[in-house]
Copies of this chain bind each other. A is one copy, B any other.
Amino acid sequence: MTAMRKKKTDKISKGDQTKALILETALEMFRERGYDETTMRAIAQKAGVSLGNAYYYFRSKEYLIQAFYQRLHESHVAAALPALENDKTLKARLLTVMRTKIETMEPYHQFAGVLFKTAGNPQSPLNPFADETDPVRDAGIQVFATLIEGTKARIPNDLRAELPYLLWVYSMGVVLFWIHDQSPKHRRTYRLIDHTVDLLDKLIHLASNPFMRPLRKQALRLVEEIREALPDGDDNEPTAGAKQ
Contact = CB atoms under 8 A, between A and B. Distances in A.
Interface in A178-226: 179-183, 188, 191-192, 195-196, 198-199, 202-203, 206, 215, 218-219, 221-222, 225-226
Contacts of A221: 195
Given A225-B191, A225-B195, A229-B177, A182 B123 contact: no
A25 interface: no
Interface string A164-178: 000000000000110
Given A196-B222, A206-B215, A215-B202, A180 B229 contact: yes
A168 to B, nearest CB: 16
Interface stretch (A8-16, A112-120, A144-152): A112-120
Contact of A195 (B130, B203, B222): B222
Closest 6 CB pairs of A and B: A116-B120, A113-B121, A122-B180, A36-B244, A188-B229, A182-B232
A103 interface: no
Interface of A: 35-36, 113-123, 129-130, 176-177, 179-183, 188, 191-192, 195-196, 198-199, 202-203, 206, 215, 218-219, 221-222, 225-226, 229-230, 232, 234, 243-244
Copies of this chain per assembly: 2
The interface residues of chain A, by DSSP majority, are classed as helix
A234 B182 contact: yes
Contacts of A36: 243-244
A115 B121 CA distance: 9
Contact of A129 (B180, B218, B229, B243): B180
Nearest to A173: B226
B119 A119 contact: yes
Contacts of A195: 218, 221-222, 225
Nearest to A221: B195
Nearest to A206: B215
19 contacts: A35-B244, A36-B243, A113-B122, A114-B121, A116-B119, A116-B120, A117-B117, A120-B176, A122-B182, A129-B180, A130-B180, A182-B232, A182-B234, A191-B225, A192-B222, A192-B226, A195-B218, A195-B225, A196-B222
